[in-house]
Structure 1
């Protein structure tokens, strides 16, 4: 008797660092309004996106994340006077490093999402899930840890 093996679609793991004052509330708003989004995302609340140390991002990838999202306040609306712009410059730097070691820079994203944009949060997460499904698993696809 032949058994058909089901091919399970790859489900990426995304770690999202969300600003306490904006994007964390947008994720909460999505839940309150019963707007569902993929369960692929694990949310970590930070006081400001500018507090996301680049080592946190590297650690996320080393420990199995296929993608990292930094969700920040819109420009000029940071409660901490430019923390979001600081996060943006860190992301640009990290993307250059990722490209240098052979990791797709699209695995790391920064997005401006305000507290009232629950739907936008859902759209960004869905876009990331779709993109990462196309790329495949980070640790299986690349042997990039050798070059770190």
Structure 2
């Protein structure tokens, strides 16, 4: 489908490997489904599909490794996404795990942000953004949604 194609094309700009392809497709599907309002169980089902096809991604016994390796990255993101109660707890946990914190934080932020919604972002975090930066982020978010080929089709 279109989401898969776009995710793989995007992934291969920097990472040409089946594990990276699978990770990007799964994250894309999770963000899409979260935006559409699915529950946590439905998001977890997407991770089970990934683990079924690529068992190396299993995260049931999280080892606490947040390296730049795609498997460690997603294990970290999934662990915190499914063991925390809200956006802030998820993000703080992920980045405080250390390692490749900018990557794990960005991915966790995408999924958790789509799942919990913009109102879940702590106001004190938003207040620290300079007004032009915040406006640019908000404008970019709206433009990205408008450009999305998957926004209506459920692909």
TM-score (norm 1): 0.28
> Which structure: larger Rg?
1
Tell me which of the two structures has the higher relative contact order, counting C-alpha pairs closer than 8 angstroms and 6 or more residues apart. 1
Higher helix share: 2
TM-score (norm 2): 0.28
Higher strand share: 1
